[in-house]
Amino acid sequence: MTATLAPPVHIGKAAVGALGMLAVATGALESVVTPTLPLLQRELDMSPAEGALLSIVLLITGALVTPVAGKLGDRYGGKRVLIRLMAVVCAGGLVSALAPNLPVLLLGQVLQGAMVGALPLSFILVRAHLPADASKVAIGVVSGLFVGGGMAGTLSAGPVAEGLSRHWMFALPTIAVIGATLLVNRLLPHDPPGRPGSAGVDWPGLLLLSGALVTLMLLLSLTPDIGSQPLLLGTLVVVLAAFVTGWTAVERRAASPTVDLRMLARPAVWKSCVLTFVVCVGTSVAVYLVPQLFAVSGSTHGFGAGATEIGFFLLPGAVAASLAGPIGGIGARRFGSRAVVTTGILIMVAALTALAAVHTEIWHLVVGKVLIALANGLCVTAMVTGTATSVDHSDTGIATSLVLVTRVLGYAVGVQVSGAILTAGTPPGSDVPAESAFVTGFVIAGAVSALSLLVTRTTSKKVEK
Q: How many domains, in total, are found in the chain?
A: 3
- Contact predicate 29/112, CB 8 Å: yes
Buried b (16+ CB within 10 A) or exposed e, 33-42: bbbbbebbbe
Task: Please tell me whether residues 303 and 379 are part of one structural domain.
Answer: yes
Exposed/middle/buried for 306, CB within 10 Å: 0-12, 13-18, 19+?
A: exposed
pLDDT of amino acid 347:
92
Q: How confident is the model at residue 262 (pLDDT cuts 50, 70, 90)?
A: confident
| % helix, strand, coil for the chain, step of 5 | 80, 0, 20
DSSP structural state of residue 116: G
pLDDT of amino acid 409:
79
Which residues span the domain enclosing 209? 202-255
With respect to residue 229, please indicate whether it lies within any of the assigned structural domains. yes
Mean pLDDT lowest among 15-24, 177-186, 206-215, 454-463: 454-463
Q: How confident is the model at residue 395 (pLDDT cuts 50, 70, 90)?
A: low
Q: How confident is the model at residue 71 (pLDDT cuts 50, 70, 90)?
A: low
Task: Please tell me whether residues 250 and 273 are part of one structural domain.
Answer: no
pLDDT of amino acid 3:
42
pLDDT of amino acid 364:
92
With respect to residue 410, please indicate whether it lies within any of the assigned structural domains. yes
User: Which of 156, 175, 193 is the endpoint of a domain?
Assistant: 193
With respect to residue 62, please indicate whether it lies within any of the assigned structural domains. yes
Rounded Cα–Cα distance for residues 208 and 246 (Å) = 7
With respect to residue 463, please indicate whether it lies within any of the assigned structural domains. yes
- Contact predicate 341/382, CB 8 Å: yes
Task: Please tell me whether residues 188 and 41 are part of one structural domain.
Answer: yes
User: Which of 255, 275, 290 is the endpoint of a domain?
Assistant: 255
Segment of 184-188, 281-285, 293-297 carrying the highest mean pLDDT: 281-285
> What does R_g of the chain's alpha carbons equal in angstroms?
21
Rounded Cα–Cα distance for residues 274 and 290 (Å) = 25
Q: Is the pLDDT confidence value at 259 over 50? A: yes
pLDDT of amino acid 153:
82
pLDDT of amino acid 465:
44
Task: Please tell me whether residues 15 and 123 are part of one structural domain.
Answer: yes
pLDDT of amino acid 198:
46
With respect to residue 234, please indicate whether it lies within any of the assigned structural domains. yes
Q: How confident is the model at residue 44 (pLDDT cuts 50, 70, 90)?
A: confident
Rounded mean pLDDT of the chain? 77
pLDDT of amino acid 8:
52
Question: Quick one: average pLDDT of 70-98?
Answer: 81
Task: Please tell me whether residues 54 and 154 are part of one structural domain.
Answer: yes
Q: How confident is the model at residue 51 (pLDDT cuts 50, 70, 90)?
A: low
- Contact predicate 395/263, CB 8 Å: yes
Q: Is the pLDDT confidence value at 7 over 70? A: no
With respect to residue 3, please indicate whether it lies within any of the assigned structural domains. no
Task: Please tell me whether residues 151 and 241 are part of one structural domain.
Answer: no
Task: Please tell me whether residues 244 and 136 are part of one structural domain.
Answer: no
With respect to residue 1, please indicate whether it lies within any of the assigned structural domains. no
Rounded Cα–Cα distance for residues 266 and 278 (Å) = 18
Neighbours of 102 (CB within 10 A): 18
Rounded Cα–Cα distance for residues 259 and 274 (Å) = 15
Mean pLDDT lowest among 23-37, 184-198, 428-442: 184-198
CATH of the domain at 360: 1.20.1250.20
Query: Between 323 and 7, whose confidence is greater?
Result: 323
User: Among 112, 120, 108, which residue's Cα sits nearest to residue 81?
Assistant: 120
Question: Quick one: average pLDDT of 92-100?
Answer: 90
- Contact predicate 381/254, CB 8 Å: no
User: Which of 228, 255, 282 is the endpoint of a domain?
Assistant: 255
Q: Is the pLDDT confidence value at 228 over 70? A: no
With respect to residue 2, please indicate whether it lies within any of the assigned structural domains. no
Could you tell me the CA-to-CA distances from 454 to 188, 291, 383, 400, 458 in Å, in that order? 41, 30, 15, 22, 7
